[in-house]
Amino acid sequence: MSTYTIPVGPLHVALEEPMYFQVQVEGETIVGLEITAGHVHRGLEYLAMKRNIYQNLTLLERLCSLCSNNHPFTYCMALEKIAGIKIPERAEYLRVIADEIKRIASNLFNIAMLAHIIGFDSLFMHVMEVREIVQDTKETIYGNRMDLAANCIGGVKYDLSDEKIKYLIKQLDKLKKPLEEIIDIYMNNKFVRARTEGVGILPKDEALRYGVVGPVARGSGVNNDVRVKSPYAAYDRLKVNVPLETGCDVRARAIVRLREIQEAINIIQQCLKDLPDGPTCIDYLPEIPAGEAVAKSEAPRGELIYYLRTNGSDIPERIKWRVPTYMNWEALKVMMPGNKVADIPLIINSIDPCISCTER
Amino acid sequence: MGENLFVGMAKGLRTWLESNHFLPIVTDVFLMLLAVVGVLGFLFLNALFLIYYDRKFGAWVQARLGPNRVGPRGIFQTVADTLKLFAKEIFIPNNVDRWPYLLAPVLIFTIPVMLFLVIPFGKGMVPYDLNLGVLYLVAVTSVETIVLWMAGWSSNNKYSLLGAMRSVAQMLSYEMPVIFAMLSVVMMAGSMKLSDIVAAQQKVWFIFLQPVGFLIYFIAVNAEFKRTPFDLVEGESEIISGPYTEYSGMNFALFFLAEYTNFMIGAIMVTTLFLGGWNAPFGWTFIPSWLWFIIKMYFVITLYMWTRWTFLRIRIDQMLNFAWKFLLPVSLVNIFVTGVGLYLYRMIRW
């Protein structure tokens, strides 16, 4: 049987964002893959070097929709490292809360997309309905359903009143039961298992070789969670259980994401329990001296690294970030071969690609 | 009173035409045409309603509202969609194989119309009572695959071709269980004439005598007509829209309508072969037979929609495995058991 090429993308029904995959196929079996990127390049890296450090907060939040909180978060951490700012303790906790809420929403979205791709639209709708609880929470606390605008240099822009804390606890409790149901479906439903088990295998040694990050790595049994390996913000004071799976397949990655949602709820509850009093932000406008810094955080998709160099002016001299998808999409070349054409979108979705972040 | 509505109308028309001294051939042709128009009307109206019903049913399952803007409760949504598709340009890509490409959407709609030829809609309401009705049904349904293959290959598109290849694989593997399940019914009824099969179910429906056959048939027909969990031919998130990918405007609408008419045929076949056709259950003959037929048809359609919205799309290898390694052996065993059973029954009887 001869091979032929199937184009998947740049615009394809199962891809949320433009990305071009040339898939070599033999009959219905995949034998090779070539990735071409560059369809949503918006010149954001250059743009960020034309704006001052305060404007960049707003700009970087618009880099990506689903991990939008992590970008300004990590950027602020890099800036604070250069300026040597110690942010108030309450702000650290509030940053963690904002981050974990975004993680819940992001992971639920990816899980819902998985259901859509395997043709289970009722489950897709159900998961999206559950996600609506998180969206409502975001809207109530931050005034926005997508971009939280929670971070600023030296702290956070929002505060949690007692009333809001009560509301947040209520919403998290509301989330728990449907979440357990969803986990049960993804783990035990025979049809979902049949479609996801043994698909897109990334063995542990290959995962280490490609340096994959986030749930993709944890689905292959590699624990490189930044929250545990090099804690930032308030994570050194919180107990974070990192869910690990050894299935190495699409199912394992989905379960890692689902378990992470449970863990995120846990973390937020811990935060709310020992939320210290005090200011939420430093009360002066900091001077940013010349210097350079690297900051990293755990985005919903994996490790996010920011490199920032300043020269004493208020415009950054160089700003660069390495997003999780950049590390993960190369591993698609290991996951794809040997699977069926029907699994292409499923495997692509399993690394939760965020093309807007990656191509800026 | 409603029982003889359509039959009476046809009879009255015939007597009126004959009393006006038309040639007998003119009378026959006129009445035949009328039957065709009736069948087409039934088909189109039901297909239009089915699309709406499917969307509404999906909405109920998923706790949404579904279409609710055009007309009361959105009942005219499909009509509006069809009109929109009428107004669209029929775009023909450069590299398609023109004739088969344009012929396919026309041919796909002739198949359901042809199938309606032998269906007994009610007491005395069969357009043409063929004595090989079952064989005819099987033969004509499988022609659909050729049309899909035509569409897929002539589109000159890899997604289309993949979809067409899948449809052929699906037909080849699910035709067997369908035929064997039908065979078990034919063995029970002792005839291939559909009206005989319906008449044989006057006392007991075949679903009670052939539960295994019914299940096999129910599943295999679902696969034959490419509904979830066997909708790989379209496989929306994998191969865009399968053989329909390159079609636009009314050409696409024809495929879409044909899909739903096929779906309806599936339900009608289940009704006729296993649910007693137009026979009234519990002797409730105050509801006319053709109404019973429609009620049963919609019951089966609802079952199929329920399946559709609660299952996901399986992969091609899983689908083929299921057909060859499970359905086919089970249906063979079923045929054997039916044969032995019938033999014993007759021995005891006589």
The first and second tokens of residue A113, run together, are 């997309």
Q: What is the per-residue pLDDT for A1?
A: 59
List the single range of A165-179, A273-287, A290-304 with lowest mean pLDDT: A273-287
Q: What is the per-residue pLDDT for A256?
A: 92
Q: Which residues contact B165 (CB under 8 A, 6 or more apart)?
A: B152
Chain B residues touching A28 at Cβ < 8 A: 162, 316-317
DSSP B313: P
State percent of chain A over pLDDT 90: 12
Mean pLDDT of B26-38: 81
Residue B20 pLDDT > 80:
no
Residue B290 pLDDT > 60:
yes
Cα–Cα distance for residue pair B234/B243, rounded to 1 Å: 7
Q: What is the per-residue pLDDT for B273?
A: 87
Question: Is the CB of residue B242 less than 8 Å away from at least one CB of chain A?
Answer: no
pLDDT band at A240; cut points 50, 70, 90: confident
Residue A9 pLDDT > 80:
no
List the single range of A138-147, B81-90, B207-216, B224-233 with lowest mean pLDDT: B224-233
Q: What is the per-residue pLDDT for A145?
A: 87
Residue A350 pLDDT > 70:
yes
Closest chain A CA to residue B318: A194
CA of A120 vs chain B CAs: smallest distance (Å): 4
Where do runs of H (alpha helix) occur along chain A?
A: 44-48, 53-61, 70-83, 89-117, 121-142, 162-188, 190-196, 204-210, 214-219, 226-229, 250-273, 324-328, 332-335, 344-350, 355-359
DSSP B231: G
Instruction: Answer yes or no: is A67 a known binding residue.
Output: yes
Residue A236 pLDDT > 80:
yes
Mean pLDDT (chain B, rounded): 84
Q: What is the per-residue pLDDT for B208?
A: 83
Domain of A286, CATH number, reads 1.10.645.10
Check A194 against B58: CB less than 8 A apart. Answer: no
Tell me the CA distances in angstroms from B258 to A256, A276, B109, B171, B284, one per residue in order.
43, 65, 6, 17, 34
Express each pLDDT in A71-129 by its tens digit.
999 999 998 889 888 888 888 899 999 989 999 999 999 999 898 888 888 888 899 98
State percent of chain B over pLDDT 70: 99
Cα–Cα distance for residue pair A171/A173, rounded to 1 Å: 5
List the single range of A57-61, A325-329, B34-38 with lowest mean pLDDT: B34-38
By residue range, what is the domain housing residue A254? Answer: 42-336
The total of structural domains in chain A comes to: 1
Residue A207 pLDDT > 60:
yes
Residue B1 pLDDT > 60:
no
Q: What is the per-residue pLDDT for B162?
A: 85
Question: Has residue A115 been placed in a domain?
Answer: yes
B11-15, B98-102, B115-119: range with highest mean pLDDT: B98-102
Contact A110, A334 (CB under 8 A): no
Instruction: Answer yes or no: is A45 a known binding residue.
Output: yes
Residue A243 pLDDT > 80:
yes
Mean pLDDT (chain A, rounded): 87
Express each pLDDT in B207-231 by its tens digit.
888 888 899 998 888 888 887 788 8
Cα–Cα distance for residue pair B164/B151, rounded to 1 Å: 8
Cα–Cα distance for residue pair A343/B199, rounded to 1 Å: 48
CA of A332 vs chain B CAs: smallest distance (Å): 17
Q: What is the per-residue pLDDT for B91?
A: 85
Q: What is the per-residue pLDDT for A307?
A: 92
Q: What is the per-residue pLDDT for A294?
A: 92
Closest chain A CA to residue B64: A125
Preceding peptide of A10 cis, ω within 30°: yes
Report ipTM for this prediction.
0.81
Q: What is the per-residue pLDDT for B245?
A: 84
List the single range of A159-168, B179-188, B228-237 with lowest mean pLDDT: B228-237
Beta bridge partners of B208: none
Nearest CB among A119, A125, A341 relative to B313 is that of A119
Check B238 against A14: CB less than 8 A apart. Answer: yes
pLDDT band at B128; cut points 50, 70, 90: confident
Mean pLDDT of B48-74: 87
Chain B residues touching A340 at Cβ < 8 A: 315-317
Question: Has residue A13 been placed in a domain?
Answer: no
State percent of chain A over pLDDT 70: 99
Which site among B231, B237, B317 would you substitute to test the A interface, given the most A Cβ atoms closer than 10 Å to its Cβ?
A: B237
Cα–Cα distance for residue pair B139/B50, rounded to 1 Å: 25
Question: Has residue A25 been placed in a domain?
Answer: no
Express each pLDDT in A49-77 by its tens digit.
888 888 888 888 888 888 888 899 999 99
